[in-house]
A = this chain, B = another copy of it.
Amino acid sequence: MVSEQDEIEQSVIAAVLAGRFSPGERLVESSLAGLYGVSRTRVREALMRLQTRGIVEVSARRGWFIVRPSAEEAHAAYQARKVIEIGLVMSIRQVLPDAIRQLRHHVEEEHAAIHDSNVNARVCLLGDFHVHLAELFGNPVLTKIVSDLTARTTLISMLYQPAAAAEESSDDHGSILDALEAGDIARAAQLMSEHIDRVEAGIDLSVMRDPLDGLRKILAPGEGLVRSAAPQQAAQNSVHSTNRQTE
């Protein structure tokens, strides 16, 4: 299989989406090379592809970093998703009952994850809903775009979205399915728009602006003294592939 080339790429995305890498976190080429047992060349190529996809960025001769979107960039990502997903819903010609059934099942999984209060799985699933919605359009180009964009915003939500917002999101998903099932495309599009707006409104930008996030997490396990939206001392597991994020 040719796809062994982008094993690293997928693995990094999976790690980000699973919360093992946090925004702003540094990735060192040689370390990754050691972990995967390959040379820097391949790691570097994978990172460059991820850069194109907006997942990582490089600071000259300093290192690679998981993107830490500014408030403005975060807004742009959410707005882009809104535009594209509205277009997607508006372009739906017929709603297959089977597709609805699948998505309903997915929303149930979301609910389960919410009650298990597993932040990573929860936010991941909430993003996956949108990807699956795009998937049933049957257009790989669109699916990839939505998938990448969702990964970006998921990365934001994972750190800055309070738990309460997750439940709300899942309910929104249910309402969107209701509208779709009823064949009310316009209403589904409207709900989608409101939904993404709500998700964006739910994130706490004040935390994001602060460049000392990592430090805060280390210094404030006891809460109270330092304001922290979602402590979640992530990024303690090592990388170790687990090529989960496939398509």
Contacts and interface: CB of A to CB of B under 8 A. Distances in A.
Given A49-B48, A52-B53, A60-B2, A83 B88 contact: yes
A63 interface: no
Given A82-B91, A83-B91, A76 B45 contact: no
A108 B113 CA distance: 55
Contact of A84 (B53, B54, B79, B84): B84
Residue among A45, A77, A79, A83 with max Cβ neighbours from chain B (10 Å): A83
Contacts of A212: none
A189 to B, nearest CB: 8
Given A87-B85, A90-B86, A142 B80 contact: yes
A77 B80 CA distance: 18
B145 A77 contact: no
Interface residues of A, number: 32
Contacts of A149: 141
A141 B87 contact: no
Contacts of A137: 83
Interface string A124-146: 00000000000001011110010
Contact of A79 (B52, B77, B85, B139): B139
Contact of A80 (B45, B79, B145, B189): B145
Contacts of A189: 90
A161 to B, nearest CB: 20
A141 B2 CA distance: 29
Contacts of A60: 2
B86 A141 contact: no
Nearest to A149: B141
Residue among A51, A87, A91 with max Cβ neighbours from chain B (10 Å): A87
A74 to B, nearest CB: 10
Interface in A44-61: 44-45, 48-49, 51-54, 60
A56 to B, nearest CB: 13
A105 B139 CA distance: 34
A76 B49 CA distance: 22
Nearest to A92: B83
Interface of A: 2, 44-45, 48-49, 51-54, 60, 73, 76-77, 79-80, 82-88, 90-91, 137, 139-142, 145, 149, 189
